[in-house]
Each structure stands twice: as structure tokens, then as C-alpha cells.
């Protein structure tokens, strides 16, 4: 029996010896043995459906076959057989299953190449923008099924668009890898979510593992297999595990930090020897969830604020250079930093009337700063930063810093020991670490320490489909993670209170900031 050389992909071309009176092994076992040898495993599982038509296929293909495989808890699994004479390589689909937005990426499973991406809003937004609303809706009659249908329908549409753009067909997609948070993953699979949000916060499963795509309603190749990233708990999802995989922090000698910021800030600290994770509510301020002016990153969002060093005038940049519609997290951080550095906001985060000048107005007994006058805004009304927005941001940034302090303190690692500080997701792409340091949200580290990971969930899902070796790390990674439950105890609250200043009550922690402050 001859096989192709060992390769790191999930596609294996095998050549079988033709059967004879001397070797009357059945077709399925002849194939299974060859594939097990190629994969270096003892046994290869396969779905019963693959047996139907197998004899004709093998004889037509002259006892050669292109096998699409996947790992099933350490055992090989044959997912599909393809015509080895075909010029088109089998495809994979990586999915970043976000609460707000989904991104899918089409992959060539042989070359590992990314062929294209499509992003779209999570169709479950029509039920509710936040997970909690959706979970409550899932508990109503037919609710869970409706939510699953929404997101599966959205995926099916997007797959169609993605394949059309690449002149490929969805029936060539044999493997799907999905990374999402625990609740989103459960909602996609139609699993109960009611216990995820009730103490002691128990998911239905930590390891959804392989699910048949047709069982989920995904319209791809018949018999295609869908790998759903495992979670560590209700608040530590497969998206973060994919991020850890993608970041490589679990293989490095020096410790590094990975932060994924959304409504929750998820933090992983570790190196090749240990991994510790925690998550905490970072508040809505960083996700555009502040009062009127806040918005998600998108066209017209103020994503970057710079200040003229001489005039201290603020320059607002919007995404796609459209008229300003609101401000997103990165813009808000930039803005707060600029206001603080120019003395328009004090160390308690309060607007200082003397310094703000004519831009300062008052509404509902509260100070506010007019950033964009009505005439220049997309909506035709003033865009204002309210004191309440600043208060909200202050709580978010203080929570973030406190979580980072707590987790590093727990393992006795100083911020200065970090070889890298990875910031995942959209937040990581847009945020200016300098500004985040200025307001004391991120520790005062050399700027090159901060690295944007981009879409690390999608990156991890991609790795799972393009590298057997990286896929093999996932379960071990999951097992290595120590989850630190953030007890909101008096120590935590003291740290939090201390961090609610700009940048901090302890100026020695932020030497690079204080030299700049007016």
C-alpha cells in the first residue's frame, strides 16, 4: 500500500493496491487502512453514507482517492471522498461567529490559501442586539429554533455570495470551522442557553466537537463536517480559544497577554508552560454603548481624534471620511486622552469648564462638550460628549486595567515582563495604544509591545482547517487554561477605585503620560 508523504493538511491523496484473491480486504477497509497510514493513526472512522457508491468510485478512480479528513478526539475521521482527477481542490470555510457581525472565509484545503471573505451583520440582531435578549427569546416557544435559523440562513446566503465571487460551488466545501462565544455557539446549534446565564453558569457542552453540517442546516457538501471550537465555560468561548491558537502565546517562552474587548474584556496571560484566563465586564463604553453619540465602528464613526499641539484644536477622523454620525470606542479613547492632555478633563475625568471654553454647554444639569455642531454632523444635530459618557468610559477603562492588574498579580508577572500584548478584533485594529495608555486603560509599556491581532477568531478557525498540527493543539490548549474567577472582593474594588483616575492614582505607573500632561 503506497501513500503520499505525510502532510499537514486535511486532504490526503491515497493510492490503494488493487484487490486480488490474495488480498480480499473490502473496499472500505482497504481505503481506511491506507488513510490511517497516511494520517499516522490507528483507525479512521467514517460515516456510513460514505460506503454507498464507494466500490464504483474506487474502480472508476483506479484505486486512488482524495480524502478529506478531520480529527475526532484523536481519531481520524474520513469526511468525504473526492475525485483525485479533479482540477478543483476541496474547500473549507472558517467562520467567526460574532454576536454582532459574522465573517466567513473560503479556504483551499490543499494549499491552505485564503480565497476570499464575506462579512455580514448577525441576523439575530433583529431579535436583540445583545446576547441576553436573545437568550431570553430562546427560552420562548420556538425561539431557539428561530434564532438558529436566522444565523444559519445568514451563513447560507453569505456562503452563496462568497462562492459566487470565487467561481466555486458550495458543494465543494467539506470542512467548516466555527469560532464563537459560548452563547452564540449554543444559539447556532439550537442548544439550550438558559443555564448559561444562571448561576453556576453551565453550558450544555464544552466541546461541541464535530457536527454534521446538514444536521445544522448548513448548505455545503453532503456529509460535510463542522468543527465547533470548544469553550472553557459560559464566559470563555471558542472565539477566545481560537484567538489563543492564532496568537501563538501558548508556544512562546516569554509570557504575553491577549485581550479581546467587547462587552466583556477577555484576557489571557501565559506562555508555553502556563495559561491563565479571565473575563470581566468592561462596560459598554468601549463598544459604542455610551449615550446618544456612541456607535459601533462603521462609516461615519469618529474613530480617531488627534489634537494640534499648538492650538489644541481637535481633529476628528471618521471612517470612510463620511460626515460624523457618532463616535466608536477607539475615537472615544483618543478623545478622552486628548481632553485629558489638554487639561479639558481633570484627573477625576471631569470636564473642566475653564479649559473647555465655548464648546462646553449644559443639558439636563450636566456638562457636555459639543464636538460636532449640527451643521456638520450627518444627523443635523449636535454631536456632544456628555459628562456621563466620560464617567462610563472611566468605569470601563478602570475595569480593564484592574482585570489586567489582577491577572498579572495572580501569577506574579509584572507588566514589564510581557513580551507582547496582543489586542484582538476590531478594537485591536482601531485602538491607538498611546491614547489607551494616556487614559490608563492599558499599562504604560513600550508601544511596540502592543500588537493588533486582527480577526483572531477567524484566524484560529483558519488554522484549524489548514494545519493538522495546529488543530491538534486546540484540545490541549483548552485543557491547559486555568480560569481565574474574578471575585469582586475588596482588593478588586480597591484596585478598581484607584484606576478610576486619569491615568491612575499612582502616577509612577504611567511615567510616559505625566510628561505630557499640561
Q: What residue spans of 13-91 are helical by DSSP H?
A: 27-39, 54-60
Q: Which is nearer to its own copies, 53 or 353 (CB)?
A: 53
Of residues 45-104, which lie at the interface with its own copies (CB under 8 A)?
45, 48-49, 51-56, 72-75
Q: Check binding of 141 to its own copies (CB under 8 A).
A: no
- Selection from 266, 276, 274 nearest residue 235 by Cα: 266
Least CB distance to its own copies at residue 19 (A): 5
CA-based radius of gyration for the chain? 26
Among 64, 194, 312, 480, binds its own copies (CB under 8 A): 194
The residue assigned the cell 447556532 is 188
d(CA 394, CA 205): 36
- Selection from 90, 136, 87 nearest residue 111 by Cα: 90
Query: Count of CB atoms within 10 A of residue 42's CB?
Result: 9
The residue assigned the cell 485594529 is 429
Q: Which is nearer to its own copies, 142 or 373 (CB)?
A: 142
Q: Check binding of 190 to its own copies (CB under 8 A).
A: yes
Q: Which is nearer to its own copies, 33 or 346 (CB)?
A: 33
The grid coordinates of residue 404 equal 489586567
Among 90, 92, 180, 208, binds its own copies (CB under 8 A): 208
d(CA 313, CA 111): 51
- Selection from 479, 260, 303, 287 nearest residue 392 by Cα: 287
Check: CB of residue 35 under 8 Å from CB of residue 6. Answer: no
The grid coordinates of residue 126 equal 433583529
Least CB distance to its own copies at residue 266 (A): 16
Only one of the segments 22-30, 113-121, 252-260, 347-355 lies at the binding site for its own copies (rule: CB under 8 A); that segment is: 22-30
HSE-CB of 191 using CA atoms within 13 angstroms: 19
Least CB distance to its own copies at residue 203 (A): 4
Residues in contact with its own copies, counted by CB under 8 A, come to a total of: 46
Residues 220-239: x where in contact with its own copies by CB under 8 A, - otherwise, as a string? -----------x-xx-----
Of residues 303-332, which lie at the interface with its own copies (CB under 8 A)?
none
Q: Check binding of 199 to its own copies (CB under 8 A).
A: yes
Of residues 482-511, which lie at the interface with its own copies (CB under 8 A)?
485
Q: Check binding of 24 to its own copies (CB under 8 A).
A: yes
Q: Who contacts 89 (Cβ-Cβ below 8 Å, separation ≥6)?
A: 11, 108, 109, 110, 111
Q: Check binding of 472 to its own copies (CB under 8 A).
A: no
Least CB distance to its own copies at residue 77 (A): 11
Site for its own copies, rule CB under 8 A: 19-21, 24-29, 43, 45, 48-49, 51-56, 72-75, 189-192, 194-195, 199-208, 211-212, 215, 231, 233-234, 485
Amino acid at each position: 500500500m503506497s501513500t503520499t508523504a505525510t502532510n499537514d493538511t486535511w486532504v490526503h491523496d491515497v493510492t490503494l493496491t488493487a484487490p486480488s484473491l490474495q488480498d480480499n480486504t473490502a473496499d472500505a477497509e482497504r481505503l481506511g487502512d491506507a488513510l490511517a497510514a497516511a494520517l499516522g493513526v490507528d483507525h479512521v472512522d467514517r460515516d456510513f453514507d460514505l460506503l454507498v457508491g464507494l466500490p464504483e468510485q474506487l474502480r472508476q478512480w483506479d484505486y486512488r482517492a482524495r480524502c478529506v479528513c478531520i480529527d475526532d478526539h484523536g481519531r481520524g475521521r474520513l469526511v468525504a471522498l473526492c475525485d483525485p482527477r479533479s482540477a478543483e481542490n476541496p474547500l473549507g470555510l472558517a467562520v467567526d461567529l460574532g454576536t454582532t457581525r459574522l465573517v466567513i472565509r473560503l479556504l483551499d484545503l490543499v494549499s491552505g490559501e485564503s480565497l476570499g471573505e464575506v462579512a455580514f451583520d448577525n441576523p439575530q440582531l433583529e431579535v436583540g442586539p445583545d446576547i441576553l435578549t436573545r437568550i431570553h427569546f430562546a427560552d420562548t416557544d420556538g425561539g431557539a429554533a428561530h434564532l438558529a435559523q436566522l444565523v444559519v440562513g445568514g451563513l447560507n446566503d453569505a456562503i452563496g455570495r462568497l462562492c459566487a465571487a470565487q467561481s466555486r460551488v458550495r458543494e465543494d466545501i467539506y470542512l467548516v470551522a466555527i469560532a464563537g462565544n459560548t452563547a452564540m455557539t449554543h444559539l447556532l446549534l439550537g442548544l439550550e442557553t438558559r443555564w448559561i446565564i444562571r448561576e453556576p453558569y453551565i453550558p450544555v457542552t464544552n466541546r461541541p466537537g464535530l457536527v454534521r453540517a446538514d444536521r445544522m442546516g448548513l448548505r455545503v457538501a453532503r456529509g460535510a463536517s463542522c468543527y465547533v471550537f470548544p469553550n472553557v465555560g459560559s464566559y470563555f468561548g471558542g472565539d477566545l480559544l481560537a484567538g489563543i491558537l492564532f496568537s501563538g502565546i501558548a508556544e512562546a517562552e516569554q509570557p504575553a497577554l491577549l485581550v479581546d474587548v467587547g462587552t466583556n474584556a477577555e484576557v489571557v496571560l501565559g506562555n508555553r508552560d502556563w495559561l491563565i484566563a479571565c473575563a470581566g465586564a468592561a462596560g459598554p463604553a468601549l463598544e459604542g454603548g455610551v449615550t446618544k453619540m456612541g456607535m459601533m465602528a462603521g462609516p461615519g464613526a469618529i474613530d480617531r481624534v488627534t489634537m494640534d499641539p499648538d492650538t489644541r484644536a481637535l481633529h476628528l477622523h471618521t471612517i470612510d471620511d463620511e460626515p460624523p454620525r457618532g463616535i466608536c470606542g477607539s475615537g472615544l479613547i483618543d478623545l478622552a486622552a486628548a481632553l485629558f492632555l489638554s487639561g479639558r478633563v481633570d484627573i477625576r475625568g471631569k470636564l473642566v469648564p475653564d479649559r473647555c471654553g465655548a464648546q462646553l454647554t449644559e443639558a439636563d444639569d450636566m456638562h457636555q462638550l459639543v464636538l460636532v455642531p449640527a451643521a456638520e454632523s450627518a444627523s443635523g444635530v449636535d454631536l456632544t460628549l456628555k459628562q456621563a459618557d466620560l464617567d462610563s468610559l472611566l468605569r470601563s477603562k478602570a475595569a480593564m486595567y484592574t482585570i489586567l492588574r489582577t491577572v498579572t498579580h495572580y501569577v506574579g508577572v509584572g507588566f514589564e515582563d510581557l513580551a507582547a500584548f496582543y489586542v484582538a478584533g476590531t478594537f485591536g485594529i482601531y485602538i491607538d495604544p498611546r491614547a489607551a495608555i494616556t487614559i490608563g486603560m492599558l499599562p504604560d509599556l513600550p508601544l511596540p509591545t502592543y500588537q493588533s491581532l486582527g480577526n483572531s477568531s477567524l484566524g484560529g478557525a483558519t488554522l484549524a482547517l489548514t494545519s493538522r498540527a495546529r488543530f491538534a493543539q486546540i484540545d490541549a490548549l483548552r485543557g491547559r487554561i486555568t480560569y481565574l474567577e474574578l471575585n469582586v472582593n475588596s482588593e478588586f474594588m480597591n484596585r478598581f477605585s484607584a484606576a478610576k483616575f486619569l491615568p491612575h492614582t499612582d502616577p509612577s505607573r504611567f511615567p510616559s503620560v505625566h510628561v505630557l500632561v499640561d
